[in-house]
């Protein structure tokens, strides 16, 4: 098994929030991926979420898992079908390093991932997503 690391600044049809870009992706094996990024403490999103107690919105963690999945899929065309389940376990603060450990399952058109987003303090979220494979456009 060889590890490959690359900096991803834009993957798929969406761009990660500036607070999370760029991130480094390491492919561990065909069914697993790990990505990490440092949350930009100067990102404007922290002005409103929450004043006096800035914390990264949970939607940004879902987006990071989605971007990790899209980067893992390489040239495969995938489309997020549903957020199956999401459990937020701890806060992510400005300046934190976030690591996503993602495992994929599925065959044919149905592809799923289970991910844990963590900081140095421990797990911040467990996220289950389901994707559809789509035809190239």
Question: Which range has the worst mean pLDDT, 22-26, 42-46, 49-53, 97-101?
Answer: 22-26
- Assess contact for 36 and 71: CB atoms under 8 A: no
- Assess contact for 10 and 23: CB atoms under 8 A: no
- CATH architecture of structural domain 4-133: Roll (3.10)
Backbone torsions φ then ψ of 70, nearest 5 degrees: -65, -40
- Assess contact for 129 and 66: CB atoms under 8 A: yes
pLDDT in tens, 8-31: 333 333 444 666 667 788 776 789
What's the rounded mean pLDDT across residues 72-92? 92
Backbone torsions φ then ψ of 71, nearest 5 degrees: -65, -40
């Amino acid at each position: 098994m060889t590890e490959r690391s690359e900096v991803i600044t834009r993957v798929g049809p969406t761009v990660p929030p500036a607070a999370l870009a760029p991130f480094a992706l390491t492919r561990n094996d065909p069914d697993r991926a790990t990505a990490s990024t440092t949350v930009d403490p100067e990102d404007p999103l922290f002005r409103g979420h929450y004043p006096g107690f800035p914390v990264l919105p949970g939607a940004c963690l879902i987006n990071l898992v989605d971007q990790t999945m899209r980067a893992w899929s390489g040239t495969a065309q995938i489309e997020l079908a549903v957020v199956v389940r999401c459990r937020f376990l701890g806060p992510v603060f400005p300046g934190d390093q976030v690591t996503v450990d993602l495992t994929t399952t599925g065959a044919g058109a149905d592809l799923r991932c289970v991910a844990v987003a963590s900081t140095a303090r421990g797990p911040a979220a467990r996220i289950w997503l389901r994707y559809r494979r789509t035809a190239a456009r």
